[in-house]
Every structure is written in C-alpha cells, then in structure tokens.
Amino acid sequence: MYKAFRRVLGVVLLSSVAVAAAFGQDATGRIAGRVVDPGTGSGLSGVRVVVGDSVAVAFTDLDGRYRSGPLAPGAYRIVARGLGRASKTYEGVVVIAGQSTLVNFSLTTIALALEQVNITAARTDRATSEAGLLGVQQRAVAASDGISAQQISRSPDSDASEAATRVSGVSIVSNKFVVVRGLSERYSNTLLNGVEVPSPEPTRKVVPLDVFPAALLDAIVVTKSGTPDKPGDFTGGSVEIRTKEFPEQFVASYSLSIGANNTVTGRMLDLPSWKGIDYLGFDAANRRHPPALPKEGFPNPNDLERYAEGVRNTWAPPVSRATPNIGFSGSIGNQNQFGRDALGYVASATYSLRNEYQPERLFQLVLDATSTPVRGFVYEDRRRTVDLGGVLNASYRRGANHKFGIKNLYTRNAEELYSTSEGFNDLLNGDLRGYQYQYITRDLLQSQLSGEHLIPTRFPIRAEWKGTLSRSERDEPDNRQVPYQRGENDTEFGLTFNSDLWFRKLNDESRAGQVDVSTVLPWLSSREVTLKTGVSARQKVREFDAVLASFNPAQQVALPSGLTALPPELLFQPENVGKYLALGFPGRIAQPYSADDNLYAYYGMLDMPVTGWLRVVGGVRVEDWRMDLFDGGRDRFASDTTLRPNIRRNSDLLWSANATIALSDRMNIRLAGFRSLARPDTRELSQDEYTDLVGSCVIIGNSALQRTSVTNADARWEWYPGPGEVVSISGFFKYFDAPIFRAVTSDQTCRFTFNNGTEAQNIGAEIDFRKGLVFLPGRLSNLSISLNGTVVRSRLRIDPRFGVYPDDLRLEDQSPWLANVVLSYDGRRVQGNVLYNVFADRISRYGLQEQTIQGPNVIERGRGTLDAKIETRVAGGWMLSLAVRNLTDNRVIMFQDTDVGRVQTGFLRPGRSITLGMGHAR
C-alpha cells in the first residue's frame, strides 16, 4: 500500500508540472459578472454591457450573467444599460492577465428619463463565494442559511454532513443525518440541484449527507421557510446540495492528501483484507448474494448443502499495519463563447480511502428505571471504507433567451466491517461472544436535463423545465453474525443457537419532471409584480429484498466433541456444513417489500413589491400523494389474492406567505407563515423486521401510521454590513398535528416501532454573526469571526394507549442549544480557520413506557469539537495544507438515568485526525 501511495504521489507531481507547462499564464483577461434587480435579486436579461469605448460588448443571459471577450491587461470603464433601467458606470476596472475580473450591477427601474450613475475608481476585487452566497441570501424570497464551497475548502470537512454542522441551526446525528432547528431528519428533506433524491439507507427517510464528498460541492443551502414553488414535505429545513458550476475562465486543479488517526494509523490490526478493485469500491473478493431460493424449498439435502457451502467463509483477517488514510480530488472547467452563444462545462472527481478502529464501542439497554441493564455488549470494530464520486455538468446558452443544461453526479461508498464482541443478554443464560463480518456498498446517481427560455412579449414570459432521473442503491451481499454462548457451568464458549446470514438489497429509483412559468406584470408606479405557476411530478419505485438464513447445530446427529467451540473460520468448513450444521430460513423475519411512492403537485404564487420597502410573496401549493406498499414483495401479492397492499391517497393544500420589509438597502425584516407535511416513509410502514448490527435492536414498522401536518411561523431581522458579513436574529414556532415518533415496544427482544403522537410544539431562536475585523492593526485586519447559535424548546404529547410518557417530553435528536464559532485568517499567502462546534445533551431514543414500566430515555451527552485548518500558497500555483479534527479528543457517550444512578449505555471514540494536503490550481 505504501508503494502504491508513493507511485500515486509521483504521478501527481509529474502531472502538475505538465499542466503548468501546458497552461501557461494567458496574456489576456476578461470582465464578467451579473446584473440584477436590487429589489428581488433576480437576474436581468438582455442588458447591454459595454467595456471602454466599445472595446467589447456583451449582453446578459436569462440569469443576468455576462462575460466579455478577451481584453488586454489594464484599467477600463464599464457601462450597463437596460431598457427601463437606470444605467450604471464603473470606472477603473482593472483587468489582469489570465483572470476574470468580477463586476456585478444592480439596475433600478425608472419611470421617466434615463439617469446615469457614475462610480469613479470603485474597488472591484473579485467577490468571494461566501459574499456571493450571502448576497443571494439577502435577496431571496424565503429565509435561508448556507455554506459556500470556499468556506468548505477552508475547513477540514470531507463531506456534506461535516460541512452542514457549520450552518446555523443544523446538527448531525450518527455522522450523517441532518437535524434542523431541533427536528430530526424525518422532518427535513434533501434536494440535489433542486430535486429530491432517494435515500440508500433502509431505516431513514432522508438521504444521508455523508454520501456527498465536499470536493464536489458548490454550496449547501438550508431554506427554513416555505414557498409554493418548493416541495412541502419539510418542517425543520430544506437542505439543498448544489454541485459545482462551470467557471468564468479555464480552471484546472487537483489535490492529494494523506492522513492519520491516533486510534488506528500505524497499529498492527486484523483489518478486513482488500485487493485489486476493492480499493475502488467494487467487490474483488467473491462477496455475492447466494442463489435465489426455490419457491417450493430445496428439493433434496444435496442442494441445501451446496447452498450452504456457497456462503463466504472468510474470518480472522491477517494482522497487518494500518496504513494512512489517503484522498485525491481533481477538477477542470471552462467557458467558451461563440458570438452571443456560450458553452460551459465542469468535470470533477474525488476519491478517499480510510481505516477505522474502535476497540471499546459500547451498547447497553436499560428497560426499567429500577433495574440494571438487560443487554450489553463491548465491541471491537475494524472497518475499511472507500468513497469515490464525480460530477460532469455542462450548459449551453443560445443567444440571450435560451439556455440548456445537463448535470450528472455519481457517488459510491463501500465499507467492510469485522467486529468481535463480548456481552450478555438476560433472555439467555450466561455470557455471549459475537463475531460479525459485514460488507455494504451505497450508490447514488442523478442525471438532470434542464432548460430556461425567455419569450420577449409585451409582458415577458420565462419558462423553466427540468427532468431528473435519480437512483440510489444499498447492497449488502455479505452480513454474517455468529453468537457464541458460555453457560454458568461452562468453561468455554460454543455455538448453541442461530448464526445468522443476512443478504439485503435496496433499490430506489425516482423520475421527476417540473415546469415553471413566470411573467412580469406592471404594478404601482414603476414597480413590477411577478406571477409564477408550475407543475411537477415525481414517481419513485422502491424495491427491498431480504433473505435471512440461520445455521444451527444439527439435532439428528451426534456432534463431535468440541465442534461448536471452534472459531468461525474452522467451524464453518465445508465438511461441517450440512452434516453437523443445519441451515434454516426463518420466514417471519427479513421479508422483502416493494412500494410505488408518487407525488404530483401544482402551485401558484405572487411576488409583489407592495411599496418600495415591502415585498410580499405568497400563494398555494397542492400536493397529491399516492403510495402503494407491498409487504412481502409484488410477486407474493400476485400469487395470493387474500393479501392487500397498504394504499395511501392524500391530497393536501399547502399555503405560504413571506413578507420582506427593507429597512435599508442592507437591512431586512422577514416574516413568514406556512403549512408543511411530514409523510411516513415506506420503512416506517413496512412490517419487515430489520436488524443492523449484531446485538442491536430490531426495527419494525406500523402500517397504520399517518402523515403529520405542521403549521409554521418565522421571523428574522438581518443586516449585511459588507461583503461576506451578516448579523441576523431569528425566531420560529411550529405546531405539529399527529407527529411521528419512534419508541421501544414492551417486547423483551428490544424492538423499535413508530406511532403518531397527539400533538407537539417546537419553539426557538437563532443568531448568526459574521464580521471582518478590519479595524485591527496590520495583519490582524485579515482576521474575521463567525459565530452562530440556536436555542430550542419542544413538547411532545402522546396518547396514553402508546405508553405513559411525561407531558414535557422533548423531541428526539433535539439539543436544547448548539453553537458554532469560527476564527478565520485570510492573508495574501496564508489562510487559516479554527472551528469549534458544540451541542447540549439530546435524546437519542425514548425509553420503554408501559403502565407498570417507565424506562429511562437514552441520552447522547453533549460535546464540543475543536477543528482547524491552515493553507499556504507557494510558487507556481501550489498549495500546502494541514488539517486537524477533534483536537479535544471527544468521545460519543450515551447514558440512561435510573433510580440507582446514571448508567453509561453507549461509548465510541472517534480519535484525533491529522491530514496533510498538497494541491495545484490553474
């Protein structure tokens, strides 16, 4: 592995020299930017932008963007003129060879004669992505927060889940699932380039954010109030992942990183053994699903034995030294003009390989506050993970009135776990020892074709359309769990009950289409009102296939002495399988299911500037949900007429109203009210029993679960003192009718299920502060500070027939408060960030509640994490970086408060990580 790493490093170094030589410094530059309406922030098309004395002339496209032709280095005057708009002039715009100078315009409407605004020697530094994102946020219809690609690149975050924790009001559970404003992932949605994406996780409604590598992202934007043109199936926030867009000029960049974690790197460990294309996330070691089971069962014992012997029997991987983590990313993009037409593209790829070791992961369960744990295990986990992904986007602009685009994203994750455990279960007498091998791959693919068209009539009509194909897959071809037991009078462990073999596969495929049409109509004085309407359709098909096979000691023959005490790699030899170890198929568990989950929507909305300082946006959206769930799979329903699918048909009217009061050109007050939904996921409805890891609790759905209706109210004051700066204070209130919650059933086997509560309330406040410290002397003026914080309170009420819960029960996964602090330095050659994230205790899952048993909730202890990253520019476009994560070496700790004191029921130590990076950019 070390030799392979050195070869990759050598190739990268040679490639950088070749790229630098092939793409030398261009002798010309350009001027590019965007022309917008200052009131709405929307782009103005057809605006004429003139550089100098007609040195170059450009016209803005549908989004208000323009780009000049090649210009010799120097200073220029630039003028923007639009019909019915006051023209604006910038003097002294400096063009640098090989670069695009960014100049943005905001042109106000005029009622009579044109007026010209001259700005002499204005500073026209290239705006940062952070400043651009805040500019969009300031003029957006709805309240939102986000993080730009620039901010992500300056942090040690490697994927979208880590980056999202920096956004105000956002936290992450299980390192992948988003919690917005204290509401778990089931009350949010995830959009990829504006379209919902299916989840590759069987037990979660929303796609986990860790499948999106940070190097592929342009921004993460969390919209916190609803509008009619967006899906209504969210309450906490709508998290939009935006992939990279093509640049204004040619860019080529790549980076290589090597990292270490103090819990694993350099240790001698029995990590899962990989070879060949395993390192690319594709199976090279014969991990596969077994043959399909005959519907009539096995015709004879020989077939059963062949089936059993076909199961992979790889155990006890060889001990080797854990290698460092490695990562690579590369990107190339450009924009070419052909007269008034333009073609832009961007291609980006990323790869990472890492090892993990958890020697003391703990799981315990306390059912009764008066008792001790009834189940407990200490795990030793070894895991190897690879992630790869790519983006290929292109856009073609035909004149000023037509634009076509195509966006493609693919990510793949593969991980293999080898785990051993020691523990106990009160249902079984004696001690337990467990072994588990699990191999999982996750794929996500999205392809999107879109178009934008402007019809220049008396009242211009703008039409936008997009068609999207999304597919996610989770494949689990190898999950073997072997439990050994040692009785009170036994001296050694032996196999006495089921050794489970799980084979599972989840496919989610979604087809979506959307058409939006808007027109601008005259309004009071010189103001204009925008009327927008549209329709959308999403058709999603989910197929979940599962098989559970179990090995048990044969009952019909005498077992050789000591056979069941053999370690797994010796016990499951072909000579034992079939003769001494019988194979069975529990039919009640691991049932497949299928679902057709379709959503059709149409809406109408008005964007109306009532006065020069008041903007109102409102309307209605109708969503028609049609879901058919087939427990047991479609084939089972075709052959058994007594079975009926779970059918849902709901039509909902969702209203929303947003008002923006402009106190000045940099200060707003926002008020919003809207109605939203939270629909049950197919896993929450399915009766299939699902178990993730050996020893963990079983998840089973509730076919009677109903959707949740939520009424929302929001208020925000926001001030944008300068580029990249913001100060905002927000408040929110949410009322839930029939909220969905997860609970432990009374079954001693530790089962989760889902029910509807009676009602819930959620109230909170947020603060966001980002400011440059330019008033400090010398180089200290390059410092800036960013902090955000959220406080939340909630109350969930549950019908007594579901258990005896307290009236002041908090919502699951909700921290009463959380905060982020970031100190940044942006010098000429050196950039650095120190980041601190902290959250308070939160309920991980509710305890068992019955008339006679009030079990304690499982609480995840709050913790603060300190991260840092520093980058320095060196000659020839090279960058060197050093990133560290979890400097405070925080542990993930779960606990339950019982009558006899606090019991620690969960423990995980992520360890400290350090990463060295090098990169080159053109």
List, for residues 830-841, the tens digit of each pLDDT value: 999 999 999 999
Q: Which two tokens stand for residue 198?
A: 């299916």
Q: Which two tokens stand for residue 821?
A: 């602090």
- Calculate the alpha carbon distances from 244 to 207, 350, 407 in Å: 19, 13, 9
- Calculate the alpha carbon distances from 233 to 125, 194, 208, 514 in Å: 41, 14, 17, 16
Residue 88 confidence class, pLDDT cut points 50, 70, 90: confident
- % of the chain surpassing 70 pLDDT: 89
By the 8 A CB rule, do 141 and 658 touch?
Answer: yes
- Tokens 């003097």 locate to 91
Q: How far apart are CA 752 and CA 612, in angstroms?
A: 54
Residue 12 confidence class, pLDDT cut points 50, 70, 90: very low
For the beta carbon of residue 83, count every other beta carbon within 10 angstroms: 9
Bridge-based pairing state of the strands 431-455 and 461-486: antiparallel
Which has the higher per-residue pLDDT, 18 or 438?
Answer: 438
The SS3 call for residue 779 is: helix
Q: Which two tokens stand for residue 368?
A: 């009764």
Average pLDDT of span 885-896: 94
Q: Which two tokens stand for residue 593?
A: 């299911």
- % of the chain surpassing 90 pLDDT: 45
By the 8 A CB rule, do 666 and 720 touch?
Answer: yes
Which pLDDT value is given to residue 611? Answer: 86
The pair phi, psi for residue 480, each rounded to 5°, is -115, 130
Which has the higher per-residue pLDDT, 546 or 785?
Answer: 785
Bridge-based pairing state of the strands 751-756 and 698-699: parallel
Which has the higher per-residue pLDDT, 191 or 854?
Answer: 191
Helix or strand holding residue 119 (H, E): strand 116-119
Average pLDDT of span 87-115: 73
Residue 645 confidence class, pLDDT cut points 50, 70, 90: confident
Compute the C-alpha angle 545/547/552, nearest 5°. 170
pLDDT score of 123 more than 60 = no
Residue 128 confidence class, pLDDT cut points 50, 70, 90: very low
Q: How far apart are CA 783 and CA 329, in angstroms?
A: 28
Q: Which of 347-351, 381-385, 672-676, 745-749 has the lowest mean pLDDT?
A: 745-749
Bridge-based pairing state of the strands 116-119 and 87-95: parallel
Which pLDDT value is given to residue 15? Answer: 41
Which pLDDT value is given to residue 113? Answer: 40
Which has the higher per-residue pLDDT, 616 or 138?
Answer: 616
Task: Name, of 120-129, 445-454, 551-560, the range with top average pLDDT.
Answer: 445-454
Which pLDDT value is given to residue 109? Answer: 67
pLDDT digits (tens, 9 = 90+) for 742-758: 887 765 567 788 999 99
By the 8 A CB rule, do 263 and 908 touch?
Answer: no
pLDDT score of 474 more than 90 = yes
Residue 766 confidence class, pLDDT cut points 50, 70, 90: very high
Q: How far apart are CA 922 and CA 909, in angstroms?
A: 40
Nearest to 410 by CA among 355, 475, 351, 451: 351
Q: How far apart are CA 91 and CA 397, in angstroms?
A: 29
Q: How far apart are CA 441 and CA 201, in angstroms?
A: 11
Which pLDDT value is given to residue 20? Answer: 40
Nearest to 888 by CA among 907, 913, 860, 906: 913
Residue 226 C-alpha from the chain's centroid: 20
Which pLDDT value is given to residue 55? Answer: 62
Q: How far apart are CA 795 and CA 150, in angstroms?
A: 38
Average pLDDT of span 649-655: 96
Q: Which of 95-104, 120-129, 137-146, 203-212 has the lowest mean pLDDT?
A: 120-129
Q: How far apart are CA 622 and CA 602, in angstroms?
A: 6
Q: How far apart are CA 385 and CA 158, in angstroms?
A: 14
Which pLDDT value is given to residue 10? Answer: 44
By the 8 A CB rule, do 170 and 222 touch?
Answer: yes
Cβ-proximal residues to 14 (8 Å cutoff; 6+ apart), any chain: none
Which pLDDT value is given to residue 292? Answer: 67
Does the predicted TM-score (pTM) go above 0.85? yes
Cβ-proximal residues to 113 (8 Å cutoff; 6+ apart), any chain: none
Q: How far apart are CA 204 and CA 189, in angstroms?
A: 11
- Calculate the alpha carbon distances from 171 to 147, 817, 819 in Å: 14, 10, 9
Q: How far apart are CA 35 and CA 45, in angstroms?
A: 8
pLDDT score of 429 more than 90 = no
Which pLDDT value is given to residue 120? Answer: 35
Nearest to 714 by CA among 673, 754, 744: 673
pLDDT score of 438 more than 90 = yes
Q: How far apart are CA 494 and CA 851, in angstroms?
A: 39
Q: Which two tokens stand for residue 673?
A: 């009210």
pLDDT score of 274 more than 50 = yes
pLDDT score of 8 more than 60 = no
Helix or strand holding residue 774 (H, E): none
By the 8 A CB rule, do 728 and 699 touch?
Answer: no
Q: How far apart are CA 212 and CA 217, in angstroms?
A: 8
Which has the higher per-residue pLDDT, 24 or 694?
Answer: 694
Q: Which two tokens stand for residue 92?
A: 């002294």
Q: Which two tokens stand for residue 269?
A: 């460990």
pLDDT score of 238 more than 60 = yes
Which pLDDT value is given to residue 30? Answer: 82
Q: Which of 237-251, 297-311, 516-530 has the lowest mean pLDDT?
A: 297-311
pLDDT score of 125 more than 50 = no
Average pLDDT of span 736-740: 94
Residue 458 confidence class, pLDDT cut points 50, 70, 90: confident
Cβ-proximal residues to 850 (8 Å cutoff; 6+ apart), any chain: 746, 803, 804
Beta strands in 108-159 (DSSP E): 116-119, 144-148
Q: State which amino acid sits at residue 858.
A: V
Which pLDDT value is given to residue 21? Answer: 40
By the 8 A CB rule, do 268 and 321 touch?
Answer: yes
417-437 in b/e form (b: 16+ CB < 10 A) is bbbbbebbbeeeeebbbbbbb
The pair phi, psi for residue 185, each rounded to 5°, is -55, -25
Q: Which two tokens stand for residue 163?
A: 């980056």
The SS3 call for residue 150 is: helix
Helix or strand holding residue 435 (H, E): strand 431-455
Q: How far apart are CA 455 and CA 704, in angstroms?
A: 49
